[in-house]
Chains A and B, each alone.
Chain A
Amino acid sequence: MKTDHKKYLIISNSDSVRLDAIPVLPYADFTAAVETLLLKPETHCVNYFAFPDHDGLKFIICIADDLQKELCVLSHKQDASGGRELASLTPRIPALHLFEREIHENFGVFFTGHPWLKPLRYAQERADQAADMNAYPFYRIDSEELHEVSVGPVHAGIIEPGQFRFICNGENVLHLEIQLGYQHRGIERLMLKKDGLLQRTILAESIAGDTAVGHSLAFAQVMESLAGIPLSRQLAIERAIALELERIAIHIGDIAALCTDIAYALGANIFGILRTGIINYTQSWCGNRLGKGMVRVGGTYHPFNETLKKNLLDALSSFEKMFVELSHRAYKLPSVENRFDDIGTLSEQQARTIGAVGMVARTTGIPRDIRMSHPFAGFKYYPYEPVVLSKGDVFSRFLLRRKEIKRSMAWIRDVLSHETFDEASERPVTLASLAPDSFCISLTEGWRGEICHCAVTGPSGDLRFYKVKDPSLHNWKALELSLRNLEISDFPINNKSYDLSYCGFDL
């Protein structure tokens, strides 16, 4: 922990610090420091939020430096008397546009110079209660030749709600805008209302149903860090294995879904069958196929043991046999390649501009992976080398899943060959007294990408503010951008290739 020229505080993943240790800068210095930090290619903003502080607002921004493996935290305090207008950072750093829209929506702060301060998700506790979700100001082009296609918010099939507005020239899409917020449940508010670790953990598991392990792990790390609970090496490794199993299961499910969307029946069926093997294993371990109940604060009710280890190795080898055989066929099938190749391309430049994270960033050649840059849980002991592809099209995202599955299997096998699980790891804690007046940030790499949870505690150690950032927040923009000049009939496979979370965005 050190401060650099007293402008920002440098911490690492899952550190908790006293709130007053974070430098508070005047807004001009704050923006200048943020700009200097974010101009470096190896940095990106992991979270930027505001919360009520006495009579004003406190802004905290966390910037990750992937090369130095450190997190820079700095803040700004805006008194109630100081007015509610601030100069926007978005024109210079577009990746911050969503954070500024969020702060604007929740607290009524006006960022001057922001291109379009529209509401983000029509949160229940928004500052402007008169804002109507059905009157969302979509971007429009008034032209005789162009037409608009509106898809959603209710969709065919069992998917979540979201509205997609296409501006098309014949079959070609000129512009796509996505409006979300229909799934807003007030997770961050609920987190403060719930007392009891178990309730909060279950809430964290439900932030995005397909990332139960990723989010609950991020939450557990926050609580453990604030309460100063020491963790055994074995528990850290078990959690990382659970996270990788979640990644394998969802990736294989997405590969199957992509095959379904291009009407490749054989792939859809067989990859779908393969997913069952993995999630059934997760069920045999923790009692839930989606990994709910796996991660608890301070320990686990479902310790890994030698029997589970043997079963896992068996499950992986039977999975691998079929997976390798079918992926050799599916990934080389001309009609499949033809369908996926060269559509929905996202350039590295675009990915950097919007602050893309996780899989999306890694398909455009940006090696952004929390497991490598800010190791947590088992990745501290067994480093993970991320897969990076460069083309950024649908086929890259299809291929990245296959490669990540292989890499994760290899990682799990490596861990299992070195570790023994003779003794059960520790039991969870049911009560935790959190450090007072502190701030904690925890990052994990879920299967979609980096998950960031931040917490601020009050004078008596109560939770004062909780902030969740799902990787989908930034990555939805990638879908919008990659659809430009594409045929509208290519939208569904593009959407599936990103497979972003609606409820993770809506919170």
Chain B
Amino acid sequence: MIIKAGIILLILLISLMFPGVINKTNAKIGGRKGAPVLQVLYDNIRLLKKGNVYSRTTGFVFRLAPLVYFASILSCVLFIPLGNHKAVFSFDGDFVLFAYLMALGRFFMILAAMDTGSGFEGMGANREAYYSMLAEPAFFIVIASLSLFTDHTSFYDLFNHLHPQSNLSYLIAFLAIYVFSLLALAENSRLPVDDPKTHLELTMVHEVMILDHSGFDLALIQLAGGLKFAIYGALIHNLAVPVSLPFALQLAILLGVEVIFAMIVGVMESLRARNKMMKNPQWLIAISALAVIAFLAVLIITRKFSLV
């Protein structure tokens, strides 16, 4: 029990640092000093102390959405196992609930954006809905490939039975990690899909949806963003690291994986430009296509399907 609480706490702590590490990497590469790693955290604490400002055109959905969003992402943390330790919620098919909890939060944010009646926010909501629809298959196809490979259907069992089978599992794990990393970028509205730093409303996806949120609500939304990254980082860690390693070592590796993941995001964001808006759907479909490759690879490895 204590270990489960510890894992959750660790992921929460990592989520607070994550955006700061990205920003710092970004600044260093660009030849700037950059804000302290914890600056994002300080900002969020400052926001948490503030009250909210609500526009008169908004209704209860707008006030509810940030809470639902944060709560849904927070509950997703409860689905993440680590090593030999089951998550708080672990049952067959738990990944479906995991995926749709994330979707629930997003759904409420989209509703809230529409609730403001602003032309900008409607546009952002429209893009967000479209992109998340395109990103969803990738997640499920990857998980399905893992299920097929291990013959299990819960996060805990998937990760526990992935590596002992054969070394070919690393091939699958590599593809899955790659897909998950890209999904994390799309899910968090980072480059190349979106630009979190832009001030140009017309080019925004996620940022434009939260223009009307302020104070406490805004802090919740931003904290949830960090959490999403930490969750994806933990999934990636689970895919990469065999459960047979000592638990303490696993925890250290988790920390390392998360930091490296954040730095990779930072490096990538410095060295490239974002996509054209109309190229985003292609980019997202390409992730699903990669997932399909993983699926085919599993079919061939496990000989559940043969051409002969």
Q: List residues of chain A with CB under 8 Å of any chain B CB.
A: 147-151, 156-157, 171, 259, 261-266, 268-270, 273, 333, 335-336, 338-339, 343, 487-492
Q: Would you give the 0/1 interface string for B193-217, flagging 1 where the beta carbon is closer than 8 Å to chain A?
A: 0010111111100000000000000
Contacts of A343 in B (CB 8 A): 276
Query: 26 A-B contacts, Cβ less than 8 Å apart?
Result: A149-B119, A150-B119, A156-B200, A157-B199, A171-B277, A259-B273, A261-B203, A263-B269, A265-B26, A266-B30, A266-B271, A268-B30, A269-B30, A269-B31, A269-B32, A335-B275, A336-B272, A336-B273, A338-B276, A338-B279, A339-B273, A487-B277, A488-B123, A488-B202, A489-B203, A490-B276
Q: Check: B274 CB closer than 8 A to any chain A CB.
A: yes
Q: How far does the Cβ of B276 sit from chain A's closest Cβ, in whole Å?
A: 6
Residue interface mask B3-45, A partner, CB < 8 A = 1: 0000000000000000000000010011110000000000000
Q: Which residues of B contact A264 (CB under 8 A)?
A: 272-273
In chain B, what residue has the closest Cβ to A156? B199
Instruction: Give Cα distance in the complex from A273 to B31, angstroms.
Output: 9
Question: Which residues does chain A contribute within 8 Å of B105, judged by CB atoms?
Answer: none
What residues of A have a CB within 8 angstroms of the CB of B66 in the complex? none
What 10 new A-B contacts, CB under 8 Å, besides A263-B269, A333-B272, A338-B276? A147-B119, A148-B119, A149-B123, A265-B30, A269-B32, A270-B30, A339-B276, A343-B276, A489-B276, A491-B202
Give the chain B neighbours of A488 by CB distance below 8 A: 123, 202
Give me the interface of B with A, judged by CB distance under 8 Å: 26, 29-32, 119-120, 123, 191-192, 195, 197-203, 269-279
Minimum distance in angstroms from A79 CB to a CB of chain B: 50
- Tell which of A263, A266, A336, A487 has the most Cβ of chain B within 10 Å: A263
B294 to chain A: closest CB distance in Å? 25
Q: A263-B195, A492-B203 are in contact. Are A333 and B277 (CB under 8 A)?
A: no
CA distance A336 to B192 in the complex (A): 11
Q: Are A265 and B277 in contact (CB under 8 A)?
A: no
Query: Assuming A149-B123, A335-B192, A489-B203, is B29 touching A265 (CB within 8 A)?
Result: yes
* Whole-angstrom CA separation of A440 from B272 in the bound complex: 51
Cα–Cα, bound, A262→B197 (Å): 10
- Does the CB pair A487–B269 fall under 8 Å? no
Chain B residues near A487 (CB, 8 Å)? 276-278
Q: Which residues of A contact B203 (CB under 8 A)?
A: 261, 489, 492
Assess A333 versus B119: contact at CB under 8 Å? Given A263-B191, A265-B30, A489-B203.
no
B201 / chain A contacts, CB cutoff of 8 Å: 151, 156
Complex Cα gap A150–B118 (Å): 10
A492 with B197: CB separation less than 8 A? no
Specify which of B120, B123, B273, B275 is in contact with A333 (CB 8 Å cutoff). Answer: B273
Closest to A158 in B: B199
Which of A148, A264, A265, A268 counts the most B-chain CB atoms under 10 A from its CB? A265
Instruction: Indicate whether A262 sits within 8 Å of B273 (C-beta atoms), given known contacts A156-B200, A489-B203.
Output: yes
Rounded to whole Å, the gap between the CB of A224 and the closest CB of chain B is 43
In angstroms, Cα B192 to Cα A335, docked, is: 9
CB pair B202–A266 under 8 Å, yes or no, is no
Asked if B269 and A265 make an inter-chain contact with CB atoms under 8 angstroms apart, the answer reads: yes
A262 touches B274 (CB 8 A): yes
Whole-angstrom distance between the Cβ of A265 and the nearest chain B Cβ:
5
Contacting residues, chain A, for B26 (C-beta < 8 A): 265
Chain B's closest residue to A337 (CB) is: B273
Closest to B192 in A: A335
Q: In the assembled complex, which residues on chain B have CB atoms less than 8 Å from the CB atom of A266?
A: 29-30, 270-271
Query: Is A335's CB under 8 angstroms from B272's CB?
Result: yes
Q: A151-B202, A491-B202 are in contact. Are A263 and B197 (CB under 8 A)?
A: yes
Chain B: minimal CB distance from A169 (Å): 13
CA distance A465 to B126 in the complex (A): 53
- The CA-CA distance from A489 to B119 in the complex, in Å, is 13
Chain A nearest CB, measured from B4 CB (Å): 39
**Nearest CB of A to B123, in Å:** 7
Say how far B278's CB is from chain A's closest CB, in angstroms.
Answer: 6
Q: Which residues of B contact A157 (CB under 8 A)?
A: 199
A339→B274 contact, CB < 8 A: yes
* Residues of chain B contacted by A263 (CB below 8 angstroms): 191, 195, 197-198, 269, 273-274
- Interface contact B273-A489, CB-CB below 8 Å: no
Distance (whole angstroms) from the CB of A351 to the closest CB of chain B: 24
Residue pair A489, B279 in contact (C-beta under 8 Å) = no
CA distance A149 to B276 in the complex (A): 20
Beta-carbon contact of B29 and A489 below 8 Å: no
Nearest chain B CB to A17 CB, angstrom units: 48
> Chain A residues near B199 (CB, 8 Å)?
156-157
What separation, in Å, do the CA atoms of A333 and B270 have in the docked complex?
Answer: 12
A490 to B279 CA separation, bound complex (whole angstroms): 12
- The residue on B at minimum CB distance from A164 is B202
**Closest Cβ of chain B: how far from A233's Cβ, in Å?**
42
Q: Within the assembled complex, what's the spacing in Å between the Cα atoms of A221 and B198?
A: 42
User: What's the Cα separation between A197 and B184 when bound, in Å?
Assistant: 62
Q: Which residues of A contact B30 (CB under 8 A)?
A: 265-266, 268-270
Given known A147-B119, A149-B119, A266-B29, contact A489–B269 (CB-CB < 8 A)? no
B280 nearest CB neighbor, chain A only = A489
B203's closest neighbor in chain A, by CB?
A489
Residues of chain B within 8 A (CB-CB) of A273 are: 31
Cβ-defined contact, A270 with B273, below 8 A:
no
Chain A residue numbers with a CB within 8 Å of B191 are 263
B272 partner residues in chain A, CB cutoff 8 A = 264, 333, 335-336
The 3 closest A-B pairs by CB, nearest first: A269-B30, A263-B195, A489-B277
Shortest distance from the beta carbon of A315 to any chain B beta carbon, whole Å: 19
Interface pair B202/A489, CB less than 8 Å apart: yes
Q: How far in angstroms is the closest Cβ of chain A from B262?
A: 15
- A contact residues around B202 at 8 Å (CB): 149, 151, 488-489, 491-492
Residues of A within 8 A of B120 (CB): 149
Nearest CB on B from A384, distance (A): 32
Could you tell me the distance between the alpha carbons of A149 and B273 in the complex, rounded to whole angstroms?
Answer: 26
Q: Smallest CB–CB gap between A379 and chain B, Å?
A: 36
Least distance between A342 CB and chain B CB atoms (Å): 10
Cβ–Cβ contact B119 & A335, under 8 A:
no
In angstroms, how far is the closest chain A Cβ from the Cβ of B279?
A: 7
CB distance from B95 to the nearest CB of A (A): 32
